[in-house]
Amino acid sequence: MTGDAVSARGDDGGGGAVLVLRAASPLATVQDLGRVGWQRFGVSVCGATDAASLSAANVLAGNPPGAPAVEFTLDGGEWELAGAPLCRVAVAGGAFAIAVDGRPVASWRSVTLHEGSRLRIGPAPDALRGYLSVAGGFAVALQLGSAATHVRTAIGGLDGRALRADDALPLAGGAAGSAPAGPDRMLDPASALPPRTLPVRVVLGPQDDYFTDEAVAAFLGSDYAVSREADRMGYRLDGPRLAHRDGYNIVSDGIAAGSIQVPGSGQPIVLLADRQTTGGYPKIATVITSDLAAVAQSRPGDRLRFAAVPLAEAHAIHRAWRSRLAGLAGRLTPVRGDLDSETLLTKNLIGGVVDARRA
């Protein structure tokens, strides 16, 4: 392995500008778009489970779409800016309950923190995972070309592990702070991002011929519930058992993001960012890239349904998905100011009075 992960703890991370995790999230790691090109050597790709939301958070902060950010689960914890006068941050992924120094702030927008400011990220009703980015990015060293954290092998991010309370992530902007010129910006996810809707689209195979016709029909015609065995590596689903034609072992081959393995239990497993590099169970289908977020943002107990699309259609959807993400910067709008009760009381909102008795 090349490069050393940056380790920082305490209030100022050794004197530089840092974002300090004061109250930890259930699971937060540094992620980017993954460690591409090393899977053939047995190195997991990792990266964000919801690439579109990671890209949105980065673009809102003024970064390239694939810059390192924090992926958090359920809630994002509480953060404090230290060692810099200001820093622009952004949160994306869902309608998370966000507050800066106790003042509510909308999700899917950037906000500028001042030194000592506290950013609190609570849960969202519409997402399991969210993304916190900072202008300029986090100053963590790359390992094999990526900052993505893989906890099982202790690679990337901050010492190759999940973030803990009092961890301090160094900011690439340095002590001068990091806030691009101009107002904070916001993004409408409904119009800017691909929808996370059901059914989840898949391409059948590469080993769908290992299953009976009835099993393929059941897979495409039934609801499956996300089980409690669900993490960044994959989601085991509960539903109709899928019967193999003649055994469930194959010669191990490569595992793509979204591969749906079916072991001897007959219950499918959707493999995600931290998946193993190869596997010896037949794969009935593969989730198309644009629909991976719909799976990764599902919680245990949520129900999924799958629909098969031809390979050519999957390619067309993928091109449109990539084009949409490439155009995110053009969909940003400036934040014109927050209308809270104090602001409203300073405004003259009455243009006249009408006496209903004389109307």
Biggest distance spanned by C-alpha atoms of the chain = 86
Do 212 and 160 share a structural domain? no
Report if residue 329 sits inside a domain. no
Task: Please state, in angstroms and as integers, the Cα–Cα distance from residue 224 to each residue in 69, 257, 268, following that order.
Answer: 31, 19, 9
Quick one: pLDDT at residue 177? 60
3-class SS at 59? Answer: helix
CB 119 within 8 A of CB 89: yes
Do 272 and 244 share a structural domain? yes
Do 139 and 270 share a structural domain? no
Q: DSSP letter at 328?
A: G
Report if residue 195 sits inside a domain. no
Of the residues 129, 156, 184, the one at which a domain ends: 184
Report if residue 127 sits inside a domain. yes
Report if residue 308 sits inside a domain. yes
Short-list 22, 18, 24, CA closest to 164: 24
Q: What is the pLDDT of residues 268-326, one digit of tens each?
A: 999 999 999 999 999 999 999 999 999 999 999 999 999 999 999 999 999 999 999 99
Residues 83 and 173: their CA atoms lie apart, in Å, by 11
Do the bridges between strand 283-287 and strand 200-204 make them parallel or antiparallel, or are there none, so unpaired?
A: antiparallel
Residues 247 and 281: their CA atoms lie apart, in Å, by 10
Residues 107 and 303: their CA atoms lie apart, in Å, by 25
Residues 125 and 104: their CA atoms lie apart, in Å, by 16
- Give the DSSP H/E element, type plus range, for residue 229: strand 224-230
pLDDT tens track of the chain, all 359 residues? 333 333 333 334 345 899 999 999 999 999 999 999 999 999 999 999 999 999 999 999 999 999 999 999 999 999 999 999 999 999 999 999 999 999 999 999 999 999 999 999 999 999 999 999 999 999 999 999 999 999 999 999 999 999 999 999 999 876 556 777 789 999 999 988 988 888 999 999 999 999 999 999 999 999 999 999 999 999 999 999 999 998 898 999 999 999 999 999 999 999 999 999 999 999 999 999 999 999 999 999 999 999 999 999 999 999 999 999 999 999 999 998 654 444 444 444 454 445 545 54
Residues 20 and 132: their CA atoms lie apart, in Å, by 13
Quick one: pLDDT at residue 195? 87
Report if residue 353 sits inside a domain. no
Quick one: pLDDT at residue 15? 52
Question: For the chain, what is the domain count?
Answer: 2
Short-list 172, 109, 170, 85, CA closest to 136: 172
Do 251 and 174 share a structural domain? no
Residues 174 and 138: their CA atoms lie apart, in Å, by 10
Do the bridges between strand 129-134 and strand 103-105 make them parallel or antiparallel, or are there none, so unpaired?
A: unpaired
pTM: 0.89
Half-sphere exposure in the Cβ direction for 5 (13 Å, CA): 25
- Alpha carbon of residue 81 to chain centroid: 22
Report if residue 241 sits inside a domain. yes
Do 249 and 160 share a structural domain? no
Do 213 and 69 share a structural domain? no
Identify the domain containing residue 207 by its residue range: 200-321
Based on the number of CB atoms within 10 Å of its own CB, is 34 exposed (0-12), middle (13-18) or buried (19 or more)? Answer: buried
Do 243 and 176 share a structural domain? no
**CATH no. for residue 289?**
2.40.100.10
Do 173 and 219 share a structural domain? no
3-class SS at 264? Answer: coil
Q: What are the beta bridge partners of residue 259?
A: 286
DSSP string, 77-107: EEEEEESSSEEEEEEESS---EEETTEEE-S
Do 225 and 91 share a structural domain? no
Do 206 and 168 share a structural domain? no
Q: DSSP letter at 41?
A: G
Of the residues 158, 184, 210, the one at which a domain ends: 184
Do 179 and 210 share a structural domain? no
Task: Please state, in angstroms and as integers, the Cα–Cα distance from residue 172 to each residue in 133, 200, 269, following that order.
Answer: 12, 38, 38
Two tokens, residue 153: 């092998």
Place of tokens 């999940």: 162
Report if residue 352 sits inside a domain. no
Do 238 and 92 share a structural domain? no
Of the residues 160, 184, 208, the one at which a domain ends: 184
CB 153 within 8 A of CB 72: no
Report if residue 106 sits inside a domain. yes
Helices (H), 165-281: 189-192, 213-221
